[in-house]
Amino acid sequence: MAVNSFKEGAVSPLSFIWCRLSALAGVLLLTACSHNSTLPPFTASGYADTQGAVRIWRKDSGGETHLLTTLSPWHSGNTSTSEYRWQDDKLQLIELNVYGKPSEHIRARFDSNGELSFMQRETDGQKQQLSSDQVALYRYRAEQIRQTSDALRLGKVVLRQGRWHADGSVTTCEGETVKPDFDSRVLGHIASRQSRSSAEVSIAWLEAPEGTQLLLVANEDYCTWQPTEKNF
């Protein structure tokens, strides 16, 4: 994943309106009006908060839930990724990476009973142990992001990414050509960003029953690293 590419957030914060609002650890989440028992095993979603744009990929298979999230700060700060695995709803793995100077890598594994079996924090090559309070915080955040993912999936909030073209169309990472339903202000924002780039910019956006929302615009080609159902 490229980490130094220029990125720019949406023109305004996400404003989808749902039937019920739930606060999950400070992030305003939108829950669905009805339950859908036929959710696909592999999904991509996301949301915007005060720190930046969060993208979430999730796969549920054979009792295992695998989540990967990326946080792209709006204006400054380092891109970070978080990876989590559950088996039969028991947390098995937490792996966090912060790309920058200094870089940071955190890994914690848990046994089949949910007990901690390994933990390590590495900052610029220096390895440290995590405190019990830090582990507890990371476990809490893991459950928090899973609940967020549950709400977004039920609400049918879908993340899409691809290359923007001058005619307003996008070639998605899946190879489709689509025209997102952006308003004139968002189109102007993308055009302004494109005018400062020699190559076609990438965009990430969200689609939901309530509408379409631009999430990110960047020089980086998202399709080079976007997870797929086969490789995730």
Q: Is there a cis peptide before residue 102, judged by omega within 30 degrees of 0?
A: yes
What is the per-residue pLDDT for 21? 31
What is the per-residue pLDDT for 161? 98
Provide the 10 A C-beta neighbour count for residue 29: 20
| 98 domain-assigned | yes
Query: Which residue type sits at 103?
Result: S
What is the per-residue pLDDT for 38? 76
Rounded to whole angstroms, the Cα distance separating 13 from 8 reads 12
What is the per-residue pLDDT for 49? 87
| 95 domain-assigned | yes
Nearest to 67 by CA among 51, 52, 50, 55: 55
- Whether residue 148 contacts residue 24, with contact meaning beta carbons closer than 8 Å, is answered with yes
Could you tell me which residues come within 8 angstroms of residue 188 by beta carbon, excluding any fewer than 6 positions away?
none
| 128 domain-assigned | yes
| 229 domain-assigned | no
Q: How many domains, in total, are found in the chain? A: 1
What is the per-residue pLDDT for 101? 83
Could you give the C-alpha distances from 112 to 67, 91, 171, 178, 220, in angstroms and in order? 18, 8, 42, 44, 39
What is the per-residue pLDDT for 135? 93
The residue segments making up the domain with residue 71 are 7-224
Digits of tens for pLDDT over the chain (232 positions)? 544 334 555 544 344 433 333 433 333 344 444 444 578 899 999 999 888 999 999 999 999 999 999 999 988 788 899 999 999 999 999 999 999 888 899 999 999 888 999 999 999 888 988 899 999 999 999 999 999 999 999 999 999 999 999 999 999 999 999 999 999 999 999 999 999 999 999 999 999 999 999 999 999 999 999 999 999 9
Q: For tokens 């939108």, name the residue.
A: 30
Please report which residue ranges of the chain form alpha helices under DSSP H: 132-154, 184-194
| 12 domain-assigned | yes
What is the per-residue pLDDT for 26? 38
Buried b (16+ CB within 10 A) or exposed e, 200-209: bbbbbbbbbe
What is the per-residue pLDDT for 160? 98
φ/ψ of residue 160, rounded to 5: -130, 150
Could you tell me which residues come within 8 angstroms of residue 170 by beta carbon, excluding any fewer than 6 positions away?
160, 162, 163, 164, 177, 178, 179, 180, 203
| 231 domain-assigned | no
pTM: 0.85
